[in-house]
A and B are shown apart, each in its own frame.
Chain A
Amino acid sequence: MAELALKNAIKRYGATQVVHGVDLQVDDGDFCVFVGPSGCGKSTLLRMIAGLEETSDGRMTIGGRDVTHADPAKRGVAMVFQTYALYPHMTVRENMSFGLKIGGTEKSEIKRKVDAAAQILKLDDYMDRKPKALSGGQRQRVAIGRAIVRQPDVFLFDEPLSNLDAELRVEMRVEIAKLHKQLGATMIYVTHDQVEAMTMADKIVVLRDGRIEQAGVPVKLYEDPDNLFVAGFIGSPRMNFFAGTVARVEAGIAHVTLPRLGGVEVPVSVSDLPAAGQAVKLGLRPEHFEPGGAIQTELAIDVIENLGGVSYAYSSAEGDEHPVIVELRGKTRPGESGALSVAFDPSSVLLFDSETGQRIR
């Protein structure tokens, strides 16, 4: 039993506050991923959980124990650092044994645990090497092995794969996911990689400027985001946003006109109806452009990227923050730029308040 709970956790460095009252519940055995733009406080929050940063205010419990001000070693957490932080003067075996050795564990017991971890991580052949004689992926495995042997309640990973090349990253991603299944331990994982977050997480926590924007299962965040930020952050390529105005509200349906799409009127069904004349933003994912959609319009395309299975068409206009992206599938895809007729279904659009950025549901 090792669920983790943060209640109004706050971190201040002197007068500057960088984490503003985070409330978070991670269930036992969950794989929880922190994502967010650089500098949003992911590492800080993780280090607060590890006890490497003092929690300025609030409460933190692990498995029901209050650990807000507990010593890092007494929290039952193990951390895998982005830079691996292996002890360079020790062999792989010594690296993995160190924590148990100073903890006074018996020699035979240490050997058993280290060998077991080495087996899981396929490190048997490297046990007598020093870290500098290992590849990046092997070092990362040693760092994970060092965490495993201590049998912590909670594993903490701070961007563990960001120093690896793309191929190895995919491989290690799968391995960590497998490991999570095998150990059944609670894991908290920091990344800024979309794909890692979406594929590995039981629960994604989206952070911005030291606040949680939204937390939930990946699909929920993808399909049902709470605000513009989460909608724009989750998903790759990103969601398209169109500024619009509510033209009229009729029978529980808001009709929104979109100047960027040639002034088409999109009927959006929401329960919390906006007033006529209100400025709104309409979100539409690239894959939601479908030829058979009810709303038809045209876009001036300047670039088309063909990735094989899909193509992405980009359309930029003056005043756009990001180009409009249209996903194209099927055999007959336009190959070059020019005017492209696109269509989409009104049921797949999301509506946001332009002012607050909050979702209008």
Chain B
Amino acid sequence: MRARYSLYLFTVPALLVIGLFFVHPIILTFDMSLTNFAGIGEAKDVGWRNYERIFGRDRYLREIWLTLWYTVIVVSALTVTGLFFAAMLHRLPLIRNFSRAALYTPAMMSFVVVGYVWQFLYSPLNGGINVALRDLGLGAWEQNWLGDPAIALYSVAFTQIWMFTGFTCAIFLAGFAGIPEEIGEAGRLEGATSWQRFRYLELPLLGPSITVSVMLTTIGTLKTFELPFILTKGGPDGATRLLSIDIIDNLFGQYKFGFASALSIVMLVIVLIVAFIQNKVLRDREQA
């Protein structure tokens, strides 16, 4: 029996670190979310008032939906493009390493750099994309990419997808590397086309990679604020105002520490719920 207890003893350092740097701040944030603390002065207890406000107003519910929608778009696109490039590169061993590095470069760049570059590309008059369209004779397709509420969210999402495709591609390439070569060769001998091999042999065997990739990109995208903040600041007309943008705005714009904390807690709960459901669903699919 002594041996059993001593086993738990070894987890104490890890538990301490988690408690100190993870649980403790969350508890502090939760405490603060029950106050109207404004950065200075006294923090007055206001009970659940902050939460009542969040769930009582359309504005915040809309932001939650927008955040979820943005995440759905970005994560689906990242999964599909990552799989596409990984499947391509898997079949082209000669350029694989070079292309993987090239694809991964955007993910290594600072959000600030990416944000400013794409702000230029998207800018309505002399922006790179509109100029290119004009030069190609496709002037009719010119858009006010970041200024039109109907498409701003998708423009921001596109930049995020561009930035992180290399990341998902790298995960999937690692997954492909784990599939024995003979499996594909057996498929070829049986007459499976490249697409059939992907669909019936490789895709099912990539299950664990898909789980990892979807989980990581979902959590990352739910929390993201950098690109919308730099590109649109949540505008136009709130079209890209994600939950995270509002948190930043409340915190550093209006110094509503208490309310921002409540929003953060809501966000944390959303991330946890989504991650939990995803993990369950994806793991079950892997088993099947």
Contacts and interface: CB of A to CB of B under 8 A. Distances in A.
Contact of A73 (B182, B188, B201): B188
B93 to A, nearest CB: 13
Interface stretch (A95-103, A218-226, A281-289, A317-325): A95-103
B189 A78 contact: yes
Nearest to B288: A89
* Interface size band for A: 20 to 34
Interface stretch (B105-113, B190-198, B251-259): B190-198
A292 B192 CA distance: 64
A83 interface: yes
Given A88-B205, A98-B200, A52 B180 contact: no
B191 A102 contact: yes
B181 to A, nearest CB: 9
B162 to A, nearest CB: 32
B204 interface: yes
Nearest to A82: B182
A85 B183 CA distance: 5
Contact of B190 (A51, A88, A102): A102
* Interface size band for B: 10 to 19
A79 interface: yes
A102 B188 CA distance: 11
- Most A-side CB within 10 Å, residue of B180, B190, B201, B204: B190
Contacts of B200: 98, 102
B133 interface: no
Contacts of A73: 188-192
Contacts of B207: 89
Interface string B59-100: 000000000000000000000000000000000000000000
B31 interface: no
Nearest to B191: A73
A146 B185 CA distance: 14
Contacts of B43: none
A52 B180 CA distance: 15
Q: Which 6 A-B pairs have the closest CB atoms?
A: A99-B190, A73-B191, A85-B182, A85-B186, A89-B204, A81-B182
Interface of B: 180, 182-183, 185-193, 196, 200-201, 204-205, 207
